[in-house]
Amino acid sequence: MPDASPDGRSGSVPPGALRVAITPIAPFVMPQTAAPEGFSVDLWNEIARRLHVQFTWTTVPTRADLLPAIQRGDADVAIAAITMTPEREKLVDFSLPYFDSGLQIVVRAQNDNAFVSALSSVPWLSILQLVAIAIAIVFLLANLVWLLERKHDPRFRKPYLRAIGEGVWVTMLIIATGEHGERDAANLWRRLLVPAMWLIGVVLIAQLTATVTSSQTVARLQSNIRGPDDLPGKSIGTVPGTAAADYLNQRGLPFVNVNTATDGISMLMRGDVQAIVYDAPTLQYWAAKRGHGVLAVVGPIFRPEKYGIVVTNGNGLRKKINEALLSMYEDGTYEQIYGKWFSSR
């Protein structure tokens, strides 16, 4: 994204203007907007107004790129949803905290009605595909029965469609019972065809059973996630280079990389992951605004975090930002901005 003036319009960088690094992370910096929008964006706009400073927005790809942009001198200020940690305090300076956060877990929503929940956990598309394959196999086997029996059995000398109907019936009987009839007079082809057809039926039924069972097992495992203590043994997704990733690494919990909200929602719906661990306000926003009722944020907020505004070490701008934040807390401006993006505390 090109640099933009405080009102969001693209343009050249004014002399002496601060370069403010941001990255998309809803609802602090909204993704895919023509001009920067979000809670952190509104907060910085007000701070800049009170400090009487000009600035330009500089968008970086991910949260992990914000601090390096400050360290390299590519930006003067960074704001989005940057967690304050002792390790980061050694690299950059943080303002006073402006948001209390923490980690939380989002899973695929479970229906309270056990019957409805069981139905919703059935992989209907996979079952339809399997049924279509089974129908095709039965039809082919029915044709094979017709070709082999039409010289010996009058029932298979009828018009093609009626004869194939007989073939389908014989095929289904073989699959269900493992027998063709005429046990004593069975010829070689029947001795070969009957067990082969029966085996095919066993494989199809086993595949159907495995498909339904595995899906319901995943649903049961997912429904058992109620907090961080339930995460071991589950498939987890999170954004790399974040406090959530650090938390999972410290606990020895492997995770799948999640790059965007759309990716995370899709991964949950496909069953690629059973839970996503990430910053609580962002997960709550995903569930409320983009989850369409299929996502549920579960468990308490854990590993409390605070977000701060970042400047380079020793930068005198930090004191001015803190003074502006304190004045916003005192006169109620902060609460007005907060209320715009979040429900009341």
CA atoms within 13 A on the CB side of 139: 8
- Tokens 């007005």 map to which residue? 336
d(CA 128, CA 121): 14
Instruction: Using alpha carbons, select from 305, 341, 343 the residue that is nearest to residue 104.
Output: 305
165-188 pLDDT, tens per residue? 877 877 777 776 666 655 444 555
pLDDT of residue 7: 44
pLDDT of residue 114: 47
Average of pLDDT values for 97-104? 93
Side-by-side strand order, sheet with 310-311: 55-59, 18-22, 77-78, 310-311, 93-94
The string over 14-52, giving b where at least 16 C-beta atoms fall within 10 Å of a residue's C-beta and e elsewhere, is: eeebbbbbbbbbbbbbbeeeeebbbbbbbbbbbbbebee
pLDDT of residue 8: 43
**Is the pLDDT assigned to residue 11 strictly greater than 70?**
no
pLDDT band at 248 (very low <50, low <70, confident <90, very high): very high
Q: What is the dihedral of CA 176, 180, 182, 185, to 10 degrees?
A: -140
Whether residue 228 is preceded by a cis peptide bond, meaning omega within 30 degrees of 0, is no
**Stronger pLDDT, 197 or 273, i.e. the higher one:** 273
137-170 pLDDT, tens per residue? 888 887 887 787 777 777 777 788 888 887 787 7
pLDDT of residue 158: 78
Mean per-residue pLDDT of the chain:
81
**Is the pLDDT assigned to residue 15 strictly greater than 90?**
no
- Evaluate whether 221 touches 214 at the Cβ level (below 8 Å): no
Question: In Å, how far from its chain's centre is CA 201?
Answer: 37
d(CA 289, CA 297): 13
**Is the pLDDT assigned to residue 133 strictly greater than 70?**
yes
